[in-house]
Structure 1
Amino acid sequence: MPILGQNQYGKAETRVVKITRDGATHHVKDLNVSVSLSGDMDEVHYSGSNASVLPTDTTKNTVYAFAKEHGIESAEQFGIHLARHFVTSQESIHRARVRVEEYAWDRIEHAGEGAHSFARRGQEVRLAQITYDGEAWEVVSGLKDLVVMNSTDSEFWGYVKDKYTTLPEAYDRVLATEVSARWRFRWTGDGQQAPDWEESYARTRQHILRAFAETYSLSLQQTLYRMGARVIDHRGEIDEIRFSLPNKHHFLVDLKPFGLKNDNEVYFAADRPYGLIEATVLRDGCEARIPVDLTNL
């Protein structure tokens, strides 16, 4: 006899922009919110009874209403407000997972009165996932699409070679990647003081970038570890960080046919295929919980 397994439902990718007007100065929060709910939902699958189902349209409306009622202090705090509401207000809902993408805007300074002009900041996206089951919280933050490059201080040599190896050893190469990272907080509620989410994100991002810039790299794996280790060493609120780093290869162009010498100056930026380096860095004694496949987080 078939039985129902794990299931959830909700409203995905609700786009909400909250403008806070502080006199003539405005502040913008631009989010993409996905809500997933699970609990006592057997009957809607077996018989079609909707008696325990909160409509997904209601979850969408709740996102908009909470943007007004609670404001958006941070992606994490907004997700916490939503997850708590769904679990505590509906008897049939036992677990809520809220995923948030945040798109950053930089203020454009201008001569007129007020500060209300903005430009979208690059392609980097801030991420948060909040999970609540009525007792414990799990908060995972992160970022994606952060493209970084070192134009020197990177080597790659001494690797295994077989009859199919054609890659020449490199003692001065370009190292570039598009950082996708998730980090899990040790905070689980239960009377603990929550981190300052905005400060934590800014500092964690800064440590990732500093480690990338300051590591003389012999491999992208080494750089990844240094990035994660620096975060664990400097951010006591974080127990685990996972990276997925595609190696954005830059190959020297052969200029000899044109009678020119290429002294590490002209490169071909290849978009595919690419090496993909992934790993988790943990605080000693902590258990890994972030999924290996970051696309599922």
Structure 2
Amino acid sequence: MAIVLGDNRYGKAENRLVRIDREGSAGGEHRITDLTVSVSLSGDMSDTHLTGANDKVLATDTQKNTVFAFARDGIGEIEDFALRLARHFVSTQESIHAARVGVVAHPWERLRVGGRPAHHSFARSGAGTRTTRVTYDGERAWVLGGVEDLTVLNSTGSEFWGFPRDEYTTLAEVKDRILATAVSATWRYSVEETDWAHAHETALATLLDAFGGTHSQSLQQTLYAMGQAVLEAVPEIAEIRFALPNKHHFLVDLQPFGLDNPGEVFYAADRPYGLIEGTVLRDDAPPAGPAWS
């Protein structure tokens, strides 16, 4: 009985890519393209399976770099972007006979700040997931509302500098960065009855307006600004708690490929991430009772 190698392929899956187009649009508006790109290659790969020889293997790290480098020239329609990549891999590598490139586009919507479309503030399409939790002890009800998985991003208007440095600090200070987070916010109502839909809509709209309208020195500052704005806009809310993961975007070094990168191509890292948590409340807020338990 003979044992033979069957169909096989390899590649770099789920490359997270964000491109910010900063020029060429009306009114100086930024445009964001957020993609997950997966590459899978097949061809004359028998030797690497059978003998370990890698002379025909295009490293998956090279595939990742190619995705980022091609994004520097612009992305356009995702079908065209995938075609460019697939054709490149097959035409430049003799051992690669077929390339499969999958692209998932993650849509964003432009925020409105002060009633007008923002130039550089976005929210992932959809308004997150609305939440509530009610505690009732037979006499009284405690009502929590909130939102989860509300992904928002400012492509500029954020800084982070002036932090302590020691022998383990490598992070560079930055005066202009992408600020992105997936908001999880839970607020406690001080009433048992109100127009819940209106209160939720007002809190959500105010929260988004504060995120887009705050020039941020830190995500902590943005957290407080959002909480303060919600409490000022919705008198029925006594306090609001946030959990804000810092969705880091790192500028990709394209110099090894002979390309510059003037703040346009980023690696969107999903972990590890900074997690910022905090509560903003009225100083005369009634006791929470069992609401948070």
CA distance in structure 2 between the partners assigned to 1:195 and 1:237 by the alignment: 8
Pair 1:269–1:261, CA change in 2 (3 A): same
Deviation at 1:134, TM superposition (A): 1.3
2:247–2:269 contact (8 Å) kept in structure 1: yes
**Is there any run of 5+ residues in structure 1 with no aligned partner, and where?**
1-120, 189-193
Distance 1:142 1:175 in 2: 22
What per-residue deviation string (whole Å, max 9, x for no partner) do you get for residues 2-54 of structure 1? xxxxxxxxxxxxxxxxxxxxxxxxxxxxxxxxxxxxxxxxxxxxxxxxxxxxx
Please name the residue that 1:206 is paired with.
205
The residue that corresponds to 1:242 in the other structure is 241
Question: What secondary structure sits across from 1:161 in the alignment?
Answer: coil
Separation in structure 2 between the aligned mates of residue 259 and residue 142 of structure 1, nearest angstrom: 47
**One-letter amino acid matched to 2:256:** P
Cα distance in 1 between the residues matched to 2:288 and 2:242: 13
Alignment of 1:58-97 (within 5 A): none
Q: Deviations over 1:134-178 (max 9, x none)?
A: 111100001101100000000111101110111111111000000
CA gap of 1:288–1:149, structure 2 versus 1, over 3 A, is farther
Distance in 1 between residues matched to 2:268 and 2:249, nearest whole Å:
5
After superposing on structure 2, the runs of 4+ consecutive aligned residues of structure 1 that deviate more than 6 Å are none
1:167 aligned partner: 171
How many positions carry a matched residue from both structures?
169
- Alignment RMSD: 2.1
Residue in 2 that maps onto 1:225: 224
Of 167, 171, 183, 2:187 maps to: 183
CA distance 1:164–1:142, change in 2 (3 Å): same
Query: 1:196 aligns to what?
Result: 195
| TM-score, with structure 1 as normaliser | 0.54
Q: Counterparts of 1:143-162 in structure 2 under 5 Å? A: 143-162=147-166
Asked if the contact 1:148/1:177 (under 8 Å) is kept, the reply is yes
| 2:190/2:286 contact within 8 Å kept | no
Match of 1:137 in 2: 141
Q: What residue number does 1:73 align with? A: none
Measure, in 2, the Cα distance between the counterparts of 1:290 and 1:247.
31
Render the CA deviation track for 1:218-277: whole Å, top value 9, x for unaligned. 000000000000001111100000000000000001111122221111110000000000
Contact 1:242 1:290 in 2 (8 A): no
Greater RCO (Cα-Cα under 8 Å, separation 6 or more)? 2
Task: Say whether residues 1:277 and 2:276 are aligned partners.
Answer: yes
CA distance in 2: counterparts of 1:289 and 1:262, whole angstroms = 50
Deviation, 1:123, is: 7.7
Q: C-alpha separation between the residues in 2 aligned to 1:158 and 1:259?
A: 33
Q: Which residue type is aligned with residue 283 of structure 2?
A: D
- Would you say the 8 A contact 2:152–2:180 is kept in 1? yes
Task: Note the C-alpha offset of 1:285.
Answer: 2.1
Structure 1 Cα separation of the partners of residues 273 and 286 of structure 2: 30
1:100 counterpart residue number: none
Letter in 1 for 2:187: W
